[in-house]
Amino acid sequence: MTPKKMLFLCTGNYYRSRFAELLFNHLVTRPAIGWQAISRGLALELGAHNVGPVSRATLAGLVERGVALEGRHRGPLALTEEDLMSADHVVALKRDEHYSLIARHFPNWIDRVEYWHVHDLDFALPDETLARIERDVIGLISRLRERNLRPSPEGQAR
């Protein structure tokens, strides 16, 4: 069975959305719930001064949580219409920051995105931000598990 696709969005696809993606994928494999996450950025040009393919704070936060990091990491990727169309669920990490970017570049999608409230480095330290993302990801996974366990109209579990 092909897993459903979760899409996490942030501004630069360097810090918050990458942490959410990698943590989500780590957590849904134990036990498997049939989802796979990817992440993309809404304005990569705003991260011109980022060093390396992914934030050091993201990598450190994942290691602290026991997430195995294998091999090389890809660089940030920009969001495309195809990414949105292929996703089963979309989460933007901060409504105040991302709603206008989605409205400008992907106006048909603004009401199809779940918006969280996770600050970037301009308003919060990495420990606080990553802890918030962790709580939100765990809550999201819990909701997805509940949906999968609800009986279908015929009485069968979905």
For the chain, which residues make up each domain, given as ranges?
Answer: 4-149
* Distances 33 to 56, 80, 88 between C-alpha atoms, Å: 29, 26, 14
The pLDDT score that the predictor gives to residue 149 is 64
What CATH superfamily is the domain 4-149?
Answer: Response regulator (3.40.50.2300)
Does residue 52 register a pLDDT over 80?
no
Say which residue, 69 or 84, is predicted with more confidence. Answer: 84
Owner of token pair 């459903």: 4
Owner of token pair 């992907």: 106
CB 83 within 8 A of CB 40: yes
Does residue 26 register a pLDDT over 60?
yes
Q: What is the mean pLDDT of the chain?
A: 90
pLDDT band at 79; cut points 50, 70, 90: very high
* CA-closest candidate to residue 120, choices 11, 3, 4, 2: 11
The pLDDT score that the predictor gives to residue 158 is 35
The pLDDT score that the predictor gives to residue 50 is 77
The pLDDT score that the predictor gives to residue 154 is 46
Helix (H) or strand (E) holding 92: strand 89-92
